[in-house]
Amino acid sequence: MRRRIFEEQGRDKKILMLDLNNTLLNDFKIWRLATDVLFRIFGKEPPTTEEFFKKYRGPVVDTYRAFGIKITSEEIHKIFDSVYEAHRNDFSLAPGAYDLLFTLPRKGFIIVLVTACGRETAMNLLEKFEIQNAFDHLEFGAGDKFAAIKRLMLRERAEAGNCFYVGDSPSDMMHAKRAGVRAVAFLNGNIPEDLVLAEMPDYNARDFKELLIMLEAWDVLENFRSPRF
């Protein structure tokens, strides 16, 4: 009986997993600057955005190694932390993000942050926009987002079909699809859309207002299909 209860709870649970950089935050220019700084520190010419994301398929350390840069996650975080701290007033929360974060929990969604960003930088950013308490779980330094997604599903005993991952990059879509959850491409124009769409996301959204409408419509449809008696 106890196992049956857990199974039913798992079927009912709805999880929304969100990327941070260039998704929840309008920080692409700062991310681009930090990436350029890192390449130049190692004496490399920075790649174009398209060149970078064509090679960004998994853990970010592997991406830099593909460009001939031997670096650790700690070294990456140190460089990015420095650039983000110097430009902490140069980016904003994505329009509509606040409404989504505080509307969906009232509809039963579990809200999770899954980001490759380091803990210190990410927490500073969340606190800056006063959204640090909007999440049920926080996954920092998630170099392997597939593993992070699977870990969260196991922790919540949630079914993949009730889980969404929203991200801006081709690798986000790849990891979400591999984990079996619903992949949502956040198409804000900063990363070439053809690269993101090539991973065949389940849904697309260009802003958080559109994303909120989509998730609310999905929720209504699911409740209609599986009425609670």
Estimate to the nearest angstrom the gap between the alpha carbon of 73 and the chain centroid.
18
Reported confidence tier of residue 11, pLDDT bands at 50, 70, 90: low
Q: How confident is the model at residue 46, as a pLDDT?
A: 97
pLDDT tens digits for range 168-221: 999 999 999 999 999 999 999 999 999 999 999 999 999 999 999 999 999 877
Which is more confident, 24 or 60?
Answer: 24
Reported confidence tier of residue 9, pLDDT bands at 50, 70, 90: low
Residue 177 near residue 199, CB atoms below 8 Å: yes
Lowest average pLDDT, out of 5-19, 100-114, 157-171, 211-225, goes to 5-19
Q: How confident is the model at residue 162, as a pLDDT?
A: 94
Q: In this structure, which topology does domain 2-26+94-224 adopt according to CATH?
A: Rossmann fold (3.40.50)
Is pLDDT above 70 for 7? no
Which is more confident, 46 or 10?
Answer: 46
Which H or E run includes 8?
helix 2-12
Task: Give the residue-averaged pLDDT of 103-112.
Answer: 95
What are the residue ranges spanned by the domains of the chain? 2-26+94-224, 28-86
Which H or E run includes 229?
none
Beta bridge partner(s), residue 182: 164
Q: What average pLDDT does the structure give for the chain?
A: 89
Q: How confident is the model at residue 4, as a pLDDT?
A: 31
Q: Please count the other Cβ atoms lying within 10 Å of the Cβ belonging to residue 187.
A: 17
Contacts of 45 (CB under 8 A, 6+ apart): 39
Residue 16 near residue 166, CB atoms below 8 Å: yes
Contacts of 49 (CB under 8 A, 6+ apart): 32, 190, 191, 192
Task: Give the residue-averaged pLDDT of 21-33.
Answer: 95
